[in-house]
């Protein structure tokens, strides 16, 4: 296999770059495109150099991309148009979907006509994308350009990581390279174990030894919304999917940690709610022994660390003072 030369679209803080480097240490990421300035700032700290490019992806041209002579595209477009958590999700009609459609409908076909299209493409998105017209259009264009495809819905639990973030993956490679499996959306990588066959590493192996006090859930939030949180223990083997609403929304945005394992969460909350209903002003103090921080102070286990630690979930160690909490 020739040296991988990759372009990264919607690069964020560099998760796909990190994954590529783990699997292929000799791979080169030539350019990483993202419009968000904070993402580009953190990306540049994780991967020093002039790789990160703050650019509107809908303005990219076939000529510009052809100059890089990349044989791999890594693409993680906006998920908001497709997420099942958004009942108003608009799919392909959402303005945030237009830059990806521009690449698929305009740029890729032009490159294919000149035999300048990449050998491999990876598209990553939220579960729900597999039911979208954007997915149908992507498959149509890819197959017309001579690609064979494989679609997957995968969760970190299948790889021993305690998080249930279900994601859609579309893999494409140019003919004559093939995927010798049934054409369907797979729930595991063909030939590999399902999540029921894998031992999940407990959450405690990912936690910092000391909790940043700024990550404690404020009393006013616990008072009003505490019963709605998804609460996990250090020994837990799962956490809920984290979304950008984490830290300023409660339901379905991610789990919070209960540090005190020996206390029963339901019993303590029932006692708290009873005290609330009786109008006791100090009812909130009943929850204090649970020790409930947000899951911000995450670290990667030693075998996953890199020279400049990539940022795990919501924790931004490199810019912890420069980046606002709601951008972490």
- Spatial distance between the Cα atoms of 253 and 1, rounded to a whole number of angstroms: 41
- Spatial distance between the Cα atoms of 301 and 295, rounded to a whole number of angstroms: 15
Q: Is 136 helix (H, G, I), strand (E, B) or coil?
A: helix
Q: Token pair 């991967």 is at which residue? A: 47
Active-site residue, 240 included = no
- Spatial distance between the Cα atoms of 13 and 165, rounded to a whole number of angstroms: 18
DSSP one-letter string for 233-298: -TT-S--PPP-TTBTTB-TTS-EEE---TTS-HHHHHHHHHHHHHTT-TTGGGGGGGG--BBS-SB
Phi, psi (degrees; rounded to nearest 5) at 44: -65, -30
Q: Is 117 helix (H, G, I), strand (E, B) or coil?
A: coil
Set 79, 240, 241, 312: catalytic member: 79
Which are the catalytic amino acids?
A: 79
């Amino acid at each position: 296999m020739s040296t991988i030369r990759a372009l990264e679209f919607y690069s964020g803080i560099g998760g796909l770059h990190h994954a590529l480097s783990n699997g292929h240490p000799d791979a080169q990421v030539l350019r990483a495109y993202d419009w968000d300035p904070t993402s580009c700032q953190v990306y540049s700290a994780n991967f020093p150099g002039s790789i990160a490019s703050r650019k509107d992806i809908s303005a990219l041209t076939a000529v510009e991309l052809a100059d890089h002579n990349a044989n791999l595209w890594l693409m993680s477009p906006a998920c908001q148009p497709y997420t099942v958590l958004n009942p108003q999700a608009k799919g392909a009609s959402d303005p945030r979907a237009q830059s990806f459609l521009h690449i698929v409908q305009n740029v890729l076909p032009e490159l294919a006509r000149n035999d300048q299209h990449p050998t491999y493409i990876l598209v990553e998105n939220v579960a729900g994308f597999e039911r979208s017209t954007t997915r149908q259009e992507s498959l149509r264009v890819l197959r017309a350009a001579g690609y064979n495809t494989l679609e997957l819905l995968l969760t970190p639990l299948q790889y021993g990581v305690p998080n249930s973030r279900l994601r859609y993956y579309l893999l494409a490679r140019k003919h004559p390279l093939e995927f010798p499996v049934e054409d369907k959306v797979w729930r595991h990588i063909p030939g590999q174990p399902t999540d029921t066959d894998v031992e999940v590493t407990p959450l405690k192996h990912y936690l910092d030894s000391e909790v940043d006090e700024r990550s404690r859930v404020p009393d006013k939030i616990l008072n009003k919304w505490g019963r709605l949180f998804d609460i996990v223990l250090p020994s837990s083997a799962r956490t809920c999917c984290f979304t950008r609403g984490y830290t300023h929304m409660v339901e379905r945005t991610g789990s919070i940690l209960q540090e005190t394992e020996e206390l029963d969460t339901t019993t303590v909350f029932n006692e708290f709610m009873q005290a609330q209903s009786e109008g006791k002003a100090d009812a909130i103090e009943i929850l204090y022994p649970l020790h409930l921080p947000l899951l911000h102070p995450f670290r990667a286990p030693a075998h996953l660390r890199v020279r400049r630690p990539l940022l795990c979930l919501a924790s931004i160690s490199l810019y912890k003072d420069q980046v606002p909490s709601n951008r972490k």
